[in-house]
Structure 1
Amino acid sequence: MARNLTFSQIEAFKAVMDAGTTTRAATVLNTTQPSISRRLSELQSASGLKLFDLHHGRLRPTAEGRHLYHSILQHYSGLQKIETLVAVMRESGTQSLRIGCTPSVAAGLLPPVINAFLKQYPNTHISIQTLSTRQLEDYLNQGLIEMAMASGEFMQGDFATEVLSRTPAICVLPLHHPLAQHDRISLDMLANEKILSFSETDELSVRIKQQLVKHGLPQEFSIQTPSSITVCALVAAGNGVGIVTPYIAAPFADRLAITQLDPIIEVDLQLAMPSHTAPSMLVECFLDLMRRSVKANHLQAGVRSARTQRPPRSDP
């Protein structure tokens, strides 16, 4: 009859799977080889499962042993996240800020906001997790971050959302591309170009494809990647043209030609925070700085757009 497992049994089993032998596992756990062997025997007896067999004098995990090992790894991963959080709180107390965002937001918007924030709160420990939108939802649900920002829509979780900015997507081209001389690029002009974009389910990709269908153009992207940063880097190296959110193009301004896109395809920058917990003073301060920065960037983008419009041609 199966009995309850103990932590020492599971710990010994994981150590053997990690190290490969009971001798090395004993060294890792600072115990003896007979002690490890005894715990493995107890674990197999308590679980009612055969977790190892002897093969050429060495322990070899069975299918059940491998399955148990992968399950244990998932629980250890969760424990490590908790230990990391505890370490951060122990080091900095309540003076910590845990931010989650997509890589494009981290590269395009965060640096000046973090700089301004640290001038006000120089002793704050800041943790920045750069993840996909779906992973950000998981981190919010687990309480591992206090806020999340992404250009994708947040859906799966108990949190409040806010649209920080709504801006038109832009077209990025290699600096010496023939179309780089144009102030505004239409989708028709991209008919024969290799278009780089994001995954099939990405909100911007879906909207681009809708417009391509509307204009009777091919809907295939030559290269797809989940990262706006990768799109910009690939375009800068001459691998095609891209349609991205405007704030990610700024770090590549010296390597890319950046133009307006026609028709306008608007992209939302969304903020998500847990709805059951009030934001801390540090979170409120950070968000105030972020909103100001996003507004300033939006206004500057409008000024640049107006300046790039060619004046109407006068009749001779």
Structure 2
Amino acid sequence: MNIRQVEVFHAVMTNSTASRAAEVLRISQPAVSKAIQELERDIGFALFRRERGRMYPTAEANIFFKEVESSFSGLTRLKSAAARIRDFGSGEIKVASLSALSTNILPRALRGFQARHPNVAISFQAQLSSTVKDLVASGQVDVGLAADEIETEGVDVRPFARYRAAIAVPAGHRLEQATELTPEDLDGEAFIALSPEDTTRRAAEAIFRDRATKLKVVLETPYSTTICAMVQAGLGVGLVNPMTAEPYVGRGLTIIPFKPAIYFRTLLVLPPNRYPSRIVADFVDEVMKLSIFQ
């Protein structure tokens, strides 16, 4: 039994006669009869009674037809799925990002992507950079944005952005009016720090050691957004990604460039050895429009 034989049987049952089935399938009536005979031989029972040149379905044919109808419904769903994949890729995209870009870059990229693909479902989560990398490597998400501190083994990466680090200070702070801040300006200040594994924190610590600057670390967090909130609350000052601080500026927080310049670097992370679908490629295109190298 093969799919062509079943297709011919389905056409005869739904069109009542072999001649109309032949017209629908665009084959000859003898070809229809031959396919039915081969199907009957393969399945081991008669599907039709032949009387005066016409074919009448047997009781077994009606039972078999119910199963065939069910299979054809599944085939219709497959055709619909194929059409969605053709038009929209998988019809779904899963994205993960480090928290620092989840409140600014990602919303803008997703807005542009949604305008191009309004019917595509979007799943987004903000995570630690190491978690973003693991989610991409395991195939649980299609695209990720992560800090350059991650191990890149097992994923494909490309440079995404570089932002010059700034010092966030609360409103009314003695340093609020400065145009730049050096390590000496921060000596003795209450400091809200990024996690020790953060590459920008390590770069800053090397500079502070060289300049003999002593900071009073009052809190550590992996999230620049948390630093901004803590600075806004007056707990101290902190080194932040200016993109993260954007929603806080003018609302109890000021950011001032840090000198010498150090940078937050981020990577676009993709699954290894996989050609991206159309929707993933379009999302990457929207994200890369927002790529910044200061």
The interval holding the TM-score normalised by the smaller chain is: 0.5 to 0.7
Q: Would the aligned equivalents of 1:102 and 1:131 in 2 still touch at CA under 8 Å?
A: yes
Specify the alignment match of 2:240 in structure 1: 244
Q: Alignment partner for residue 127 of structure 2, among 115, 131, 136? A: 131
Q: Alignment partner for residue 95 of structure 1, among 91, 98, 102? A: 91
Q: Would the aligned equivalents of 1:95 and 1:125 in 2 still touch at CA under 8 Å?
A: yes
Matched, 1:122 2:115: no
1:274-285 mapped onto 2 (5 Å cutoff): 274-285=271-282
The code of the aligned residue for 1:183 comes to: T
Matched, 1:225 2:243: no
Cα deviation, residue 220, structure 1: 5.1
Specify the alignment match of 2:263 in structure 1: 266
Unmatched 5+ residue regions in structure 2?
Answer: 1-83
Specify the alignment match of 1:235 in structure 2: 231
**For the residues of structure 1 that align with 2:257 and 2:280, how far apart are their CA atoms?**
34
Unmatched 5+ residue regions in structure 1?
Answer: 1-88, 303-316
Specify the alignment match of 1:189 in structure 2: 185
Q: Would the aligned equivalents of 2:89 and 2:278 in 1 still touch at CA under 8 Å?
A: no
1:131-210 mapped onto 2 (5 Å cutoff): 131-155=127-151, 157-210=153-206
Q: Would the aligned equivalents of 2:98 and 2:128 in 1 still touch at CA under 8 Å?
A: yes
- Encode CA deviations 1:180-222: one digit per residue, 9 max, x unaligned: 1011111110102111111111212111111111111125522
**For the residues of structure 1 that align with 2:227 and 2:119, how far apart are their CA atoms?**
35
What SS does structure 1 have at the residue aligned with 2:169?
A: strand
Cα deviation, residue 276, structure 1: 1.6
What SS does structure 1 have at the residue aligned with 2:268?
A: strand
The code of the aligned residue for 2:221 comes to: T
Deviates more, 1:174-183 or 1:92-101: 92-101
Specify the alignment match of 2:107 in structure 1: 111
Specify the alignment match of 2:207 in structure 1: 211
The code of the aligned residue for 1:291 comes to: M
Larger radius of gyration: 2
**For the residues of structure 2 that align with 1:221 and 1:240, how far apart are their CA atoms?**
9
Q: CA distance change for structure 1 residues 180 and 219 in 2, over 3 Å: closer, same or farther?
A: closer
**For the residues of structure 2 that align with 1:194 and 1:108, how far apart are their CA atoms?**
27
**For the residues of structure 1 that align with 2:216 and 2:238, how far apart are their CA atoms?**
13
What SS does structure 1 have at the residue aligned with 2:279?
A: helix
Cα deviation, residue 120, structure 1: 1.2
- Encode CA deviations 1:98-146: one digit per residue, 9 max, x unaligned: 1111111111311111111111111111111211122122212221011
Specify the alignment match of 1:286 in structure 2: 283
The code of the aligned residue for 1:249 comes to: A
Cα deviation, residue 93, structure 1: 7.8
**For the residues of structure 1 that align with 2:237 and 2:264, how far apart are their CA atoms?**
18
Cα root mean square deviation, aligned: 2.0
Cα deviation, residue 154, structure 1: 2.7
Q: CA distance change for structure 1 residues 294 and 175 in 2, over 3 Å: closer, same or farther?
A: farther
Q: Would the aligned equivalents of 2:98 and 2:145 in 1 still touch at CA under 8 Å?
A: yes
**For the residues of structure 1 that align with 2:220 and 2:150, how far apart are their CA atoms?**
22
Cα deviation, residue 245, structure 1: 1.2
